[in-house]
Amino acid sequence: MHDFHFAGDKLFCEGVSLAALAKEFGTPLYVYSQHTLEDHFRKLDTALAPLDHLVCFAMKANSNLSVMRVLANLGSGFDVVSAGELQRVIAAGGDPKKCVFAGVAKSAAEIEFALRKGIYSFNCESEPEIRRINEVAARLKKRAPIAVRINPNISAKTHSKITTGTYENKFGIQFEHVEAIYARASKLKNIWLRGVQMHIGSQLTSVTPYELAVKKVLPLVKKLAAKYQLEFFSPGGGLGIIYNPALASGTPAWWKSPAAKGILTPASYAEKLLPLLRPLGLKILIEPGRFIVGNAGALITRVEYVKRTGRKNFVIVDAAMNDLIRPAFYDSYHEIVPLVKKSGALIASDVVGGICESGDYFCQDRPLAKVGEGDELALLSAGAYGFVMASNYNTRPLAAEVLVNGRKFAGARVRQPVKDIWAGEKVVAWLK
Ligand code: LLP
């Protein structure tokens, strides 16, 4: 499933020792496996091969230019959520014509930029947004391709902060309103009704919510497609990954065949959805982020101190919540392994960063090998929503990023020089 593995007692990414990378690039360091990226993209692309389809990588999960170029080279499109992301697509060598633009707050300037670049479709989240797109398109004398994002009111049963397909959420257009909105939008001169879209949430580890949601919207999609000669349907992104355990060594037998456990895989997804989607005769888009990049990345960090208190064994590391916020924000699990295998008993440990917040931890009371000052650790499955959610909190520079391909590796982002953090700031005139 991914290319982080032990060779002897050393942890490798593909053919490269992570300790060697930590030495050369320093820590905290994000490391990405090109092979895992390609493999995951191809698995999805192959699963959908029986249909006319396009995989649009949701670049919000990881927008490093090298990561994006790997996917663009495989023919990937991109799901963007800002003009900035669309500019990144262009910088990475991607094709704006294979881009869809999602998000509830598209500004007129962003709409104009996307129209000028000729994106494939705006995935619209409200009627006022459709009217605004029409106005901007009229000004530019263009017809804007759009799809309405249906909110099917089906819970993805995932973490509440990443569930999007119910009426509690700000996303999409209520299922019952969709038909009337298409009817009104069809009268707008500068709108081209190109498709229908849906996205019910992120980190879905079962196919069932997709199946339920697709079955619910299917009759409506058929009707709209016939009435307005639509070209595509997208059931969205959200395909989940296995975080625990991330490393294949010593893991349960089902690891080798997750589908047997009812876990979502490209094959099980295709098996359930293809029979529903094929009869539509439409082009099928999907917009996965995490599935492609999640297991393809690790965050490498060094132990600064080990501090024992009456109750705890704190392993204090040089990465912190500003580098990887997922555990603090979603209570998420990232497997933590030393770069060099340790023997001996495991100790319940809290791996924590140096930020002045009690929420700044990567795990709590987790049985881990005994590590000491200077040891290096990998936080696995950190390729999605890792670096992209990093901040400069506590004036900590953004980490460096490296791409590995077989035995080759190269820096994909330099560590941020600390002075760059305040480069845009000023001491205002009256204080001088
Ligand atoms: N399409 C739309 C409209 C989305 O909102 C998202 C994710 C995706 C596609 C891609 O979802 P994916 O395939 O990556 O699950 N920061 C959180 C995840 C936030 C997801 C936001 N939307 C995390 O770290 O778990």
Q: Tell me what pLDDT residue 431 has.
A: 98
Q: Is 238 in the pocket of ligand 1 (CB under 6 A)?
A: yes
CATH classification for the domain delimited by 4-13+22-28+295-422, as one of 3.40.190.10, 3.30.360.10, 2.40.37.10, 2.40.50.140? 2.40.37.10
Distance 384 CA to ligand 1 centre (A): 9
Given ligand 1 and candidates 290, 381, 391, which is best to mutate, with the most ligand atoms within 8 Å of its CB?
A: 290
Output the pLDDT for position 244: 85
Determine the Cα–Cα distance for residues 70 and 363; give it in Å rounded to an integer.
Answer: 32
**How far apart (Å, rounded) are the C-alpha atoms in residues 247 and 298?**
11
Classify each residue of 333-364 as buried b or exposed e, where b means 16 or more C-beta atoms within 10 Å of its C-beta. bbbbbbbbeeeeeebebbbbbbbeeeebbbbe
- What is the reported pTM? 0.96
- In which region does residue 76 sit, left (phi positive, over 0), alpha (psi from -120 to 50) or beta (all else)? beta
- Residue 76: Cβ-neighbour burial (10 angstroms; 0-12, 13-18, 19+): buried
Q: Domain boundaries in the chain?
A: 4-13+22-28+295-422, 34-289
Instruction: Answer for the pair 315, 35: CB distance below 8 angstroms, yes or no.
Output: no
**Tens digits of per-residue pLDDT, 105-118?**
999 999 999 999 99
- When pLDDT is cut at 50, 70 and 90, the band that residue 397 belongs to is very high
62-72 pLDDT tens trace: 999 999 999 99
Q: Give the position of tokens 């129209």.
A: 115
8 A C-beta contact, residue 224 and residue 285 = no
Average pLDDT of the chain to the nearest whole number: 94
pLDDT of residue 10: 97
Instruction: Give the rounded percent of residues in the chain with a pLDDT score beyond 70.
Output: 94
Task: Say how far apart CA 215 and CA 213 lie, in whole Å.
Answer: 5
Task: State the catalytic residue, choosing from 56, 99, 124, 356.
Answer: 356
Q: Which atom of ligand 1 is nearest to the CA of 384?
A: 24
Is the distance from the beta carbon of residue 360 to the nearest atom of ligand 1 less than 6 Å? Answer: no
Amino acid identity at 215: K
Question: How far apart (Å, rounded) are the C-alpha atoms in residues 358 and 369?
Answer: 23
Please say if the pLDDT value at position 267 is more than 80.
Answer: yes
* 18 CB near ligand 1 (under 6 Å): no
Nearest alpha carbon, ligand 1 atom 23: 385
Which residue has its alpha carbon closest to ligand 1 atom 1? Answer: 237
Cα–Cα distance list, 226 to 98, 221, 254, 282, 321 (Å):
24, 9, 43, 10, 49
Instruction: Kindly list the distances between the CA atom of residue 256 and the CA atoms of 13, 44, 335, in Å, as whole numbers in the listed order.
Output: 19, 18, 18
Whether residue 345 has pLDDT greater than 70: yes
Q: How confident is the model at residue 251 (pLDDT cuts 50, 70, 90)?
A: low
CA-nearest residue for atom 7, ligand 1, is 202
Per-residue pLDDT, averaged over 241-250, amounts to 73
Domain 34-289 has CATH 3.90.45.10: no
356 is catalytic: yes
Ligand 1 pocket member 288 (CB < 6 A): yes
Question: Which pLDDT tens digit goes with each residue over 174-199?
Answer: 999 999 999 999 999 999 999 999 99
236 CB under 6 A from ligand 1?
A: yes
Asked whether the beta carbons of 244 and 295 are under 8 A apart, the reply is no
Which H or E run contains 64? none
